Structure 1
Amino acid sequence: MLDETVFRSEDMAAADRFDNWSELLGRTHAPMELRSEYADDFRASQRVLDLGAVTVWPATFQSLIFLRTPKLIRRSDPESYHLSLVVRGTGANVWGHRESAYKPYDLHINSSSLPCEIHTSGDSVTMVGLEVPQALLPLPRDMAARVVGAPVSAREGMGALLAQFLTQLTANTAPYQPSDGPRLGTVLTDMVAALLAHTLEADHSLPPETHKRTLTLRIKAFIRDHLHDSRLTPATIAAAHHISTSYLHRLFRDEDVTVAACIRSLRLEAARRDLADPALHTAPIHMIASRWGFPRATDFSRAYRAAYGATPKDHRRQALHHHD
């Protein structure tokens, strides 16, 4: 079973329920000001699934208002993107002078770095929250402002794929081991990156520069999905996106990294996760290296030491010792 924390308001005195859930939400998502007509005897339940850098938290709670104010942002900002899959209930999201309504099987995208006001309506809301660090989805601020706040359908396309994954994952975590958490977090990060790229591309009012950044985001998601493929090269990446290799290199010059360096860095990150995985402790290091695109053990060891300051063998020993 995955590592998870469970909160049930019924397990504590009525007077303590609202404040305790507010505190938990502040740690799970970001500090917020909450208001509810049910605060004197608030009913809520929440599970928090630890998926490495990513957090998933299904919850049911009574109607309330969430406020993420500039003052709270200055005080504490975890710098994360938050996605809410609405399962039951309705409400509205207010960003400055813009307001958008949501209904069941909408996905809402928020940023902990931007102020917002969220109203829920009806007796209660059931949703699945997803927290992804902004560093894993490096959207420029102008692009982030275009996707946050607006509902995305979870009934079709990319939104439906993400909704199905979240629904199946939270329905039963028993088949998974705690070590599966970071792997599942990586899958979710890639799915969110693809969803954001798709959402931005659908906005035909975007200026050319934003379309270029969106294409770069989509290419990075493609690279993550094909790290195992030994044929992953700038030429195959360019062909898959119907652009020239020279244009691909120009896109990555704006990112201050070469295509090859991006591929190498992501492959090293993947190998590093495998080396620290207790379930793979018997897998030979050279097999892990080959799996992630390093057929020559000496090349892998040299690149690994340059990136992390330790050999793959030393890092594995330290990681497994920490698990013990």
Structure 2
Amino acid sequence: MNETEFRTEDLPAGERFEAWEELLSHAHAPMHQTTEFAADFRAHVRLIELGEVVVWPAQWPHLTFHRTPRLIRQSDPEHCHLSLCMSGNAVAQWQRSEAAYHAYDFHVTDTSIPYDIMTDPRTPITMIGVEVPKTLLGLPWGRAQQIVGRGLSGREGVGALLAQFLTGVTGDTSVYRPADGQRLAWVLSDLVTALFAQALEAEGELAPEARTRTLALEVKSFIRRNLRDADLTPSSVAAARNISRGHLHRLFQAEGTTVAAFIRDQRLEAARRDLTDPGQSGTPIHAIAARWGFRDHATFTRTFRSAYGVTPRDYRHAPVLAGPAAAPAE
């Protein structure tokens, strides 16, 4: 994976807007852009290339985007574009349809269709853009295209899972290796496809591999949200997701682990973070253990020592260890 960062403030004021137009037209597709801030344009974007998929978190002041039929004839990358609005508001228009977008809404455009998008002139907008080649989607584009112009929420269901993935993958890219880019692109394409299929009530049309990978992500997200529940077990996870225990175990076997090991490791990591948090230095270790679902303090101490090589107490008071740690052994 490759990442490029661009800040308009790094250029003379008179060159900023033109450079921004060129960069964004390259990241997405050629567009005409207008703004009253062109004389001193202040914006920021990071281009993160995950194989054929590009993710670009960005922030900018009021802008209007125009993708015209002429620009489409000149250049069309044949991409499906999603924007996750993090803050601010925008209105998009396609021919006779119009949709408004607010925080944690997704909006979808097709680089082959003319559109106009105007962001709120009162506040800057912060968003995460995603460029996915139509050929990578697990639905025929003629079917998936019906999503354009429809409101999709990033606050619930598969939309929340996709929003969580995007904020996570763009938060700190230094933790990823170059080879991770293509794997992340597959996951992202699967999540986009699953979101479209859910909105179109077309889950049955997904390829089996895409359904399996999406279900595994949903299960992991459910587990992370419920780590504090001491009764969280493989059986309760399977029941909550309405799948058999055998199906659940096969999801994790494909990744070389087990459901119980994943739950244990996520709890250990959450407890480890609390132990290194200066704001929780006065919280007893047994309370931290109980917070993350460990019923018995002795079991927590033994499990923690097996994973990290030291007891929780020694870990908390060893400055050299009070930082990022390797993932616990499975």
TM-score bracket, normalised by the shorter chain, equals 0.5 to 0.7
Match of 1:156, as an amino acid? E
Cα deviations across residues 262-300 of structure 1 (Å, max 9, x unaligned)?
A: xxxxxxxxxxxxxxxxxxxxxxxxxxxxxxxxxxxxxxx
In 1, Cα distance between the equivalents of 2:205 and 2:84? 26
Match of 1:180, as an amino acid? D
Match of 2:9, as an amino acid? E
Matched residue SS, 2:173: coil
Asked whether 1:86 is paired with 2:75, we answer: no
Matched residue SS, 1:60: strand
Asked whether 1:221 is paired with 2:210, we answer: yes
- Cα 1:164/1:138, change in 2 over 3 Å: closer
Offset, 1:223? 6.2
Offset, 1:40? 1.3
Using structure 2 for the length normalisation, give the TM-score: 0.62
Offset, 1:215? 2.8
Bigger Rg, structure 1 or 2:
2
Q: Does the aligned pair in 2 maintain the 1:22–1:34 contact within 8 Å?
A: yes
1:264-283 correspondence to structure 2 within 5 Å = none
Which residue in 2 is equivalent to 1:183? Answer: 183
Asked whether 1:135 is paired with 2:113, we answer: no
Matched residue SS, 2:198: helix
- Cα 1:113/1:88, change in 2 over 3 Å: same
Matched residue SS, 1:191: helix
1:16-35 correspondence to structure 2 within 5 Å = 16-35=15-34
Which residue in 2 is equivalent to 1:42? Answer: 41
In 2, Cα distance between the equivalents of 1:184 and 1:52? 9
In 1, Cα distance between the equivalents of 2:193 and 2:35? 34
Matched residue SS, 1:123: coil
Which residue in 1 is equivalent to 2:274? Answer: none
Match of 2:96, as an amino acid? H
Q: Does the aligned pair in 2 maintain the 1:193–1:218 contact within 8 Å?
A: no
1:191-202 correspondence to structure 2 within 5 Å = 191-201=191-201
Q: Does the aligned pair in 1 maintain the 2:154–2:163 contact within 8 Å?
A: yes
> 174-183 or 82-91: which moved more?
174-183
In 2, Cα distance between the equivalents of 1:135 and 1:114? 17
Which residue in 1 is equivalent to 2:98? Answer: 99
In 2, Cα distance between the equivalents of 1:224 and 1:123? 38
In 2, Cα distance between the equivalents of 1:77 and 1:224? 30
In 2, Cα distance between the equivalents of 1:71 and 1:138? 29
In 2, Cα distance between the equivalents of 1:96 and 1:225? 33
Offset, 1:39? 1.1
Q: What stretches of structure 1 of length at least 5 have no aligned partner?
A: 202-210, 227-324
In 1, Cα distance between the equivalents of 2:108 and 2:67? 14
Cα deviations across residues 213-244 of structure 1 (Å, max 9, x unaligned)?
A: x6323546226669xxxxxxxxxxxxxxxxxx
In 1, Cα distance between the equivalents of 2:174 and 2:41? 29
> 97-106 or 141-150: which moved more?
141-150
Q: Number of residue pairs matched?
A: 216
Q: Does the aligned pair in 2 maintain the 1:87–1:105 contact within 8 Å?
A: yes
Q: Does the aligned pair in 2 maintain the 1:95–1:149 contact within 8 Å?
A: yes
Matched residue SS, 1:110: strand
In 2, Cα distance between the equivalents of 1:221 and 1:176? 23
Which residue in 1 is equivalent to 2:228? Answer: none
Offset, 1:141? 5.3
1:141-152 correspondence to structure 2 within 5 Å = 142-152=142-152
Q: Does the aligned pair in 2 maintain the 1:84–1:109 contact within 8 Å?
A: yes
Match of 1:192, as an amino acid? V
Structure 1 vs Structure 2 CA RMSD? 2.1
- Cα 1:126/1:8, change in 2 over 3 Å: same
Which residue in 2 is equivalent to 1:109? Answer: 108
Match of 1:115, as an amino acid? P
Which residue in 2 is equivalent to 1:71? Answer: 70
Offset, 1:123? 2.6
Offset, 1:129? 0.5
Aligned-residue sequence identity (percent) comes to 49
1:155-174 correspondence to structure 2 within 5 Å = 155-174=155-174
- Cα 1:79/1:138, change in 2 over 3 Å: farther
Matched residue SS, 2:123: strand
Q: Does the aligned pair in 2 maintain the 1:194–1:218 contact within 8 Å?
A: no
In 2, Cα distance between the equivalents of 1:139 and 1:26? 26
Matched residue SS, 1:162: helix
Using structure 1 for the length normalisation, give the TM-score: 0.63
